Chain A
């Protein structure tokens, strides 16, 4: 079983998701906010997905971290390296709980996840698929230097923009290293 390593950034701790994080996760998926991230889910559906995302680490060797606010220990969301079976390419994903946006936490955590993907996992490219209408995440992808590559139309769910991140070692990548 592969368990997420714990990584510290300036203000955050990326650590494994645990059973006690489920309440916050289920609360997110109970609200309309979730329509832009896979759809609203019942607690039962959210539980299965939460467990499966933990298992993603074992099947791929990477996955989603829980993101904790260093100062308070609060569960502020998730960030990670994600590549389920059948997906076109591996991606960097993020999810922020209500009340923790607008602090740059998603940016700080996503930069860390991308650095992990490039430096530890050896990815040569990373994408981020973002639902049409998720303007906050689009701004985050652009702030990370990712560029819109194509549309990914979907049946029954919002279409997605596929953003491609700057390659490892590129100018934006170097800027990232300077930040770390």
Chain B
């Protein structure tokens, strides 16, 4: 079984998903804030989604972390995901409205990418970002990722762009 690690950044703590996180996602997926990440979803679907993120670790050996501030305030999720049919691991992030606009997503996603380069050493990492999701496009660009129109495959989400992350040495 995959050992679930934690990652600490300047302001954030990335830790395994716990049952107590679900109410945050039930609330998040109930509103249009979830529009860019497949929502809104019913409470039932949101629950299964969280289950899926947890089980992904058993299937792939990597997955999503929950993100909280060092004071313990829940912020969102970040991690690498690669369901069965996806050709490349995807670095994804999704933060509650209360935790956006602070640079948390960039800080957390960069930490996951650096960690992946040091541990999993994937050949490539992409991010699928909704074409209208300006905030997430900025996160991807801040990390140095660029839109890739020649990936050779269709993005699993028809409205999303494929951003490809630079795979040089970890900072």
Residues in A lying within 8 Å of B, measured CB to CB: 1, 3, 16-19, 22, 43-44, 47-48, 50-56, 58-61, 84-86
Contacts and interface: CB of A to CB of B under 8 A. Distances in A.
Given A1-B16, A59-B19, A54 B50 contact: no
A44 B54 CA distance: 17
B50 A1 contact: no
Contacts of B53: 55
A47 B44 contact: no
Interface stretch (B32-40, B56-64, B98-106, B124-132): B56-64
A54 B52 CA distance: 8
Interface of B: 1, 4, 16-19, 22, 42-44, 46-60, 83-85
Contacts of A19: 58-60
A59 B83 CA distance: 20
A17 B51 contact: no
23 contacts: A1-B57, A3-B1, A16-B58, A18-B58, A44-B83, A44-B84, A47-B84, A48-B52, A48-B84, A50-B59, A52-B49, A54-B51, A54-B59, A55-B50, A55-B53, A55-B55, A59-B51, A60-B19, A85-B22, A85-B44, A85-B46, A85-B48, A86-B42
A22 B59 contact: yes
Contacts, number: 82
Contact of B48 (A1, A18, A47, A84): A84
A48 B51 CA distance: 10
Contacts of B85: 43-44, 47
Highest count of chain B CB atoms <10 Å: which of A52, A55, A84, A85: A55
B52 A86 contact: no
Contact of B47 (A44, A54, A85): A85
Nearest to B21: A59
Given A51-B52, A53-B51, A85-B43, 19 more contacts: A16-B58, A17-B58, A44-B84, A48-B52, A50-B55, A50-B59, A51-B55, A52-B49, A52-B52, A53-B55, A55-B51, A55-B53, A55-B55, A55-B56, A59-B19, A59-B54, A84-B47, A85-B44, A86-B47
A19 B16 CA distance: 19
Contacts of A56: 51, 55
Contacts of B52: 48, 51-52, 55
B4 A1 contact: yes
A153 to B, nearest CB: 17
Contacts of B54: 1, 54-55, 58-59
B56 A51 contact: yes
A33 B19 CA distance: 33
A86 B47 CA distance: 9
